[in-house]
């Protein structure tokens, strides 16, 4: 099965009323853990890389790790997605590498830190949509900003999405999916107390954009048991707190179709590696600690794919290609 456009996965999730996890990767062990979990749960899958991850891997290495996963799992529908593209050029780079989907985060300026205005967001998002759709590539946009900073991205301030603007934004830009800010944050320290998410924003957005795929960023749950392993073996994450899974499930019932997960995988890997170093300090072969790290991510994501409702949907539909979607977009533009 070839790589599929992310739009197809999200449209199918709309039909089935479930969420699709979008899992960030940086290295081989993460890619394998994520894809093996999807294979064993028969889940459609979004594998995503940030600009930081692509830079870390010198672009082509990460590309081929993802393509290896596709080759190894020909019956699994997989989309390759750029997380938080900051301008047209970063999206062009991802598309040239074979990514079937890109996110343009026009809610921030090109530095990835300064909040932009609405006009700028519409302009840069529309530029990316025009370029990507000519090639059949899916585009995710964002309205509002999250708290926290991760991988160098984030203003550090939460600006909750205004539902009154979402329909105008989607119509003017032509995006295929919309990330909305409802109070979540990047990183492992999302909340100081019990999280209070703006579900009223999700509800109103869903009314204004019925059946349109919404996206939750900053959606790692930061499981206490994984943090406990890190802390037990020398880590210092005393106040880490994430988005409860019950809140994510509620979001899915309200139209969230893509759920971004990064921090949880990092914590799972770190805990497993620290445990090896703590219990067997004589170990020095990277395989001795990367193998359990890979297993920890695999076990974590098995549960997420089931919780999101993705499990069992891998063979619900016949996969389409970028060329199929290029023709669909062209037909839509002619109307």
Active site residues: 83
Helix residue ranges, H only, the chain: 6-16, 28-41, 51-56, 60-72, 88-96, 118-133, 163-173, 199-208, 224-232, 245-253, 263-279, 286-307, 322-334
Dmax over Cα atoms in the chain, in whole Å? 67
Specify the 3-state DSSP secondary structure of 145. Answer: strand
- What is the full DSSP assignment across 82-129? EEEE-SHHHHHHHHHTT-SEEEE-TTB-TTSSSB--HHHHHHHHHHHH
Specify the 3-state DSSP secondary structure of 66. Answer: helix
Round to whole Å and give the CA distance between 138 and 44.
Answer: 16
Task: Tell me whether strands 177-180 and 138-143 are parallel, antiparallel or unpaired.
Answer: parallel
Nearest residue to 262 via CA among 195, 185, 199: 185
The token duo for 288 is: 């001795």
Handedness of CA 297, 95, 319, 171 (dihedral sign): positive
Nearest residue to 20 via CA among 215, 188, 205: 215
Round to whole Å and give the CA distance between 286 and 61.
Answer: 19
């Amino acid at each position: 099965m070839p790589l599929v456009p992310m739009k197809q996965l999200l449209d199918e999730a709309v039909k089935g009323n479930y969420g699709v996890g979008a899992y960030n990767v940086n290295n081989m062990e993460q890619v394998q853990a994520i894809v093996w979990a999807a294979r064993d749960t028969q889940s459609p899958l979004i594998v995503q890389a940030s600009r930081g991850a692509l830079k870390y891997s010198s672009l082509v290495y990460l590309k081929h790790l993802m393509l290896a996963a596709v080759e190894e799992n020909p019956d699994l529908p997989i989309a390759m997605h750029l997380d938080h593209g900051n301008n047209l050029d970063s999206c062009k780079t991802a598309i040239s590498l074979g990514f079937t989907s890109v996110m343009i985060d026009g809610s921030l300026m090109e530095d990835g830190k300064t909040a932009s205005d609405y006009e700028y967001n519409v302009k840069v998002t529309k530029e990316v949509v025009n370029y990507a759709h000519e090639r059949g590539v899916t585009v995710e946009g964002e309205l509002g900003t999250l708290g926290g900073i991760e991988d160098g991205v984030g203003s550090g301030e939460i600006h909750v999405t205004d539902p009154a603007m979402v329909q105008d934004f989607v119509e003017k830009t032509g995006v295929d999916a919309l990330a909305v800010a409802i109070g979540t944050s990047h990183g492992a320290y999302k909340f100081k107390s019990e999280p209070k998410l703006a579900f009223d924003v999700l509800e109103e957005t869903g009314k204004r954009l019925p059946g349109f795929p919404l996206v939750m960023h900053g959606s790692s749950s930061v499981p206490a048991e994984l943090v406990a392993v890190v802390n037990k073996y020398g880590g210092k994450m005393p106040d880490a707190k994430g988005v409860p899974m019950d809140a994510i499930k509620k979001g899915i019932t309200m139209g969230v179709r893509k759920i971004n997960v990064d921090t949880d995988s990092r914590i799972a890997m770190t805990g497993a590696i620290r445990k090896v170093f703590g219990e067997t300090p004589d170990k020095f072969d990277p395989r001795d600690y990367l193998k359990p790290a890979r297993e920890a991510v695999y076990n974590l994501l098995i549960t997420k794919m089931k919780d999101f409702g993705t499990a069992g949907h891998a063979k619900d539909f016949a996969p389409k290609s970028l060329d199929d979607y290029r023709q669909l977009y062209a037909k839509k533009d002619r109307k």
